[in-house]
Amino acid sequence: MKKRKDGRYQKNIYIGRDENGKRKYKSVCGTSRKEVETLAAELKQKLGKGIDISSDDTYGCWKKRWLTVQRSLQTPQQYKTLERYLKHFTELEPYKINKLTIADFQEIVFDLAAKNPTTGKPTAKKSLKEFIATASRVFEYAIENRAIDFNPLKYVKISKNAAKKKERRALSPEEQKLIINTPHRGRLPAMIMLLAGLRRGECLGLQWADIDLKRNKINVHQTLVLDGNNSYIKAGAKTEAGVRKVDIPTVLSDYLKSLAPHSPFDYVVTTTKGKLMTNSAWRRLWESYINCLNLEAFNSQQGKIVGIAPRSKYCPDGIPQVIEPFTAHCLRHTHATNLFYSGYDILYIQHQLGHTKPETTLNIYTHLMQDDTEAPAKKLDDFLNRKIS
């Protein structure tokens, strides 16, 4: 140990040899001998664990390395989602990954909770958890590669006052009737997602050979991946449990039977030219479909308007907004809700939806049970009346 001209103490620690066999050292400095000895001990401890303390790579460098790996493991859409989540921590990219602290990330998370720069609104708690989890995976990757031994994201907190994400809604019986009875090109995928619970990609990847109208089943074994304005078929589903055979009700079976015969290898849902759907083609179809449903609902109400919305893409002719626009996933959620209220058990619903974990299905049950507090008591009453009365 030596005392430098600036009054601080310095000690050089031998850390190994470089590719040419030359000895390498790492310097630690402090205002006192005790501080330097403490830092030197920590350094030697890291060496003993196999940590590469000669690495001065930045967080941005490790982020790029991790994303390179993910590009081959994720679908294009999933990869873009990871990139979007990590953008919230862009300001930390120039800093060395081994120098970043809990406070560095905590400050950003609290700022996002107060206001998301993209939306201008508070960030939902669920979204904050996803941002933190994604950045945490970058640190875990660096730990696996012996670059660091600490992940600050594990200790980042989310404020109790963080906004709650709006629950995905289930469609009302009236809206479901509207879907079943309103002619439109979007009616076909909407009915499949509503009545069979398929994800959008699973629905768009269906071929007629996958639909067994004799047994009223759909074989889900491939999905359409939307990559920008390109698309391609990928074998399998979102999860291993996603490859399944789902039951379909008679109303959907009858509707599919009413359609003109198709080659078994034809895709069920296509563009107007008979090609695979793309992002832009799907967006145009869905906007047109919601507008059609809104117009139908407006006409059926005969002037009984439920709130007037400003001109929008869903009411381009200035027609009041009489139905709340919904996404494709709302249809799948509605299917799960229908199964729940029909009395199906959790294992059947889990299989029908293709959930890998029963917890995912249980979350639906919990949410619906909170909304239907009278149902459990009624079921018990019915049981006791049958068995005891």
Sign of CA dihedral 204, 205, 207, 213: negative
Among residues 70, 95, 99, the alpha carbon closest in space to that of 85 is found at 70
At residue 307 the predicted structure's pLDDT band, cuts being 50, 70 and 90, is very low
The predicted model gives 330-356 an average pLDDT of 88
Q: Is a pLDDT exceeding 70 seen at residue 356?
A: yes
Sign of CA dihedral 278, 283, 284, 288: positive
* Interacting residues of 187 by C-beta distance below 8 A, sequence separation 6+: 179, 289
The predicted model gives 28-51 an average pLDDT of 78
Model confidence pLDDT, tens digit, residues 89-145? 999 999 989 889 999 999 999 999 988 888 888 898 889 999 999 999 999 999 988
Model confidence pLDDT, tens digit, residues 244-302? 999 999 999 999 999 978 899 999 999 999 999 999 999 999 999 998 898 888 888 76
At residue 308 the predicted structure's pLDDT band, cuts being 50, 70 and 90, is very low
Q: Where are the domains of the chain?
A: 2-48, 59-155, 173-324
pLDDT (0 to 100) of residue 212:
95
Domain 59-155 falls in which CATH fold?
Answer: DNA polymerase; domain 1 (1.10.150)
The predicted model gives 176-204 an average pLDDT of 95
Rounded Cα distance between 33 and 305, Å, is 80
At residue 318 the predicted structure's pLDDT band, cuts being 50, 70 and 90, is low
**What b/e readout covers 339-355, taking b as 16+ CB neighbours within 10 angstroms?**
bbeeebeeeebbbbbbb
CATH class of 173-324: mainly alpha
Q: Is a pLDDT exceeding 90 seen at residue 198?
A: yes
Crossing angle for the helix pair 358-371 and 328-342, to the nearest 10 degrees:
70
Rounded Cα distance between 44 and 129, Å, is 35
pTM of the predicted model, to two decimals?
0.66
At residue 371 the predicted structure's pLDDT band, cuts being 50, 70 and 90, is low
Among residues 230, 232, 210, the alpha carbon closest in space to that of 221 is found at 210
